[in-house]
Amino acid sequence: MAHYFVGDLQGCYREFKLLLDKVAFNPSKDEIWAVGDLVARGPDSLSVLRFFADEANSGRVVLGNHDLHLLSVYGGLKRAKPSDQLQPLLDAPDTGQLIDFIRHQPLVRELPEFNLVMTHAGIPPQWDLATLRHEAAAVSDVLQQDNYLDALISHMYGTDINRWSTELSGLNRLIYCINALTRMRYLHPDGTLDFDCKLPPGDAATHDDLRPWFTFNSKLPQQTQVVFGHWAALMGQTHNCRYQALDTGCCWGEYLTLLHLETDEKLTQQALSPR
Q: Is residue 275 in some structural domain? A: no
18 C-beta neighbours (distance < 10 Å), count: 16
The pLDDT, as a whole number, for residue 110 is: 98
Phi and psi angles of residue 159, each rounded to the nearest 5 degrees, phi first: -125, 10
Q: What's the average model confidence in pLDDT over 110-127?
A: 98
Taking only the tens place, the pLDDT of each residue in 231-249 is 999 999 999 999 999 999 9
Q: How far is the CA of 83 from the CAs of 43, 158, 252, in angstroms?
A: 9, 21, 11
pTM to 2 decimals?
A: 0.96
Q: Is residue 108 in some structural domain? A: yes
Q: What's the average model confidence in pLDDT over 91-103?
A: 98
> What's the chain's average pLDDT?
95
Contacts of 20 (CB under 8 A, 6+ apart): 4, 32, 258
Q: Is residue 176 in some structural domain? A: yes
Asked if pLDDT for residue 206 goes beyond 60, the answer is no
What domain range is 114 assigned to?
3-270
Q: How far is the CA of 91 from the CAs of 69, 112, 118, in angstroms?
A: 17, 39, 31
Taking only the tens place, the pLDDT of each residue in 165-192 is 999 999 999 999 999 999 999 999 999 9
Domain count, the chain: 1
CA–CA distance, 150 with 251 (Å, rounded to integer):
31
Q: What's the average model confidence in pLDDT over 62-87?
A: 96
Q: Is residue 258 in some structural domain? A: yes
Q: Crossing angle of helices 95-103/45-54, nearest 10°?
A: 60
CATH number for the domain that contains residue 266: 3.60.21.10
Asked if pLDDT for residue 203 goes beyond 90, the answer is no
The pLDDT, as a whole number, for residue 224 is: 97
Q: Is residue 82 in some structural domain? A: yes
User: Three-state SS for 25?
Assistant: coil
Q: Is residue 65 in some structural domain? A: yes
Asked if pLDDT for residue 3 goes beyond 80, the answer is yes
Contacts of 150 (CB under 8 A, 6+ apart): none
